[in-house]
Amino acid sequence: RLSGRAEKVKSAAPQEKSPGGMEVTLHSIAMNHAQVAMRTEAGKELLQVQDASFRSAISLSDGKLSGDGRATIALVNCANALFLRDLSTAVVLTPETVKLSPLAGKLAGGDITGVAGMSLSDSRYTVDLQVKNTDVVTLFKEAGVLPVFTSGKLQMSSMLTGTGGVDAVVGTGKAE
């Protein structure tokens, strides 16, 4: 169920007109308080997104879509093991890419920041994330795992690229 009211946002950058081309501009498009869940064929929950909102201005000119906006998500629950909270990001759409930058949120009391993007021509995505001061006891507790630490803070950086699901992800990272 999608509902809500229109909100005024910055309009998309004007596009050059070409003779005979069609141009459509939506100065405001919004989705408010959406809920999304992904499950396996057996019904096991893989991902749950709660209270997601998005607002944008978009333009379609000569078959090419572009725009800019803002997205927020109150909670991303990854397989009931990893809980990202209070995510927010600017969203930029060009005919070639979608970019989320800067991305910010909370993970087990610490901060998560980064950028993400996807090429629309080949569906290649990149995600560059940094985690700072995440409480490891809270992280283990939220994951339903007995903590092996009595205290500590996680610092981490990671870079992921891929073109499909988890089996197609390539990444590097460092954790302290």
Q: Which residues contact 70 (CB under 8 A, 6 or more apart)?
A: 9, 54, 55, 56, 88, 89, 90, 91
Q: What pLDDT, on a 0 to 100 scale, did the predictor assign at position 113?
A: 97
pLDDT in tens, 29-83: 999 999 999 888 888 888 899 999 999 999 999 889 999 999 999 999 998 899 9
Higher pLDDT, 1 or 44: 44
Q: Please check whether residue 74 is in contact with residue 50, taking contact to mean a CB–CB distance below 8 angstroms.
A: yes
Edge-first strand order for the sheet with 97-107 is 23-39, 45-61, 64-78, 82-93, 97-107, 110-119, 125-135, 153-162, 170-175
pLDDT in tens, 140-170: 999 999 878 889 999 999 999 988 767 778 9
pTM to 2 decimal places: 0.76
Residue 155's alpha-carbon distances to 23, 107, 136, 167, 171, in angstroms, are 47, 11, 10, 25, 17
Given a cut of 60, whether residue 18 has pLDDT beyond it is: no
Given a cut of 80, whether residue 125 has pLDDT beyond it is: yes
Higher pLDDT, 30 or 4: 30
Q: Please give the Cα distance from 106 to 75 (Å, whole number).
A: 9
Q: What pLDDT, on a 0 to 100 scale, did the predictor assign at position 146?
A: 86
Higher pLDDT, 133 or 150: 133
Given a cut of 80, whether residue 20 has pLDDT beyond it is: no
Given a cut of 70, whether residue 3 has pLDDT beyond it is: no
Only one residue has tokens 């998309």, namely 12
Q: Please give the Cα distance from 6 to 92 (Å, whole number).
A: 19
Q: What pLDDT, on a 0 to 100 scale, did the predictor assign at position 8?
A: 47
Higher pLDDT, 27 or 5: 27
Q: Please check whether residue 31 is in contact with residue 52, taking contact to mean a CB–CB distance below 8 angstroms.
A: yes
Q: What pLDDT, on a 0 to 100 scale, did the predictor assign at position 14?
A: 54
Measured on CA atoms in the order 115, 120, 121, 122, is the torsion positive or negative? Answer: positive
pLDDT bracket for residue 130 (50, 70, 90): very high
Measured on CA atoms in the order 53, 93, 102, 115, is the torsion positive or negative? Answer: positive
Q: Please give the Cα distance from 124 to 160 (Å, whole number).
A: 11
In one-letter notation, the amino acid at residue 2 is: L
Q: Please give the Cα distance from 16 to 165 (Å, whole number).
A: 37
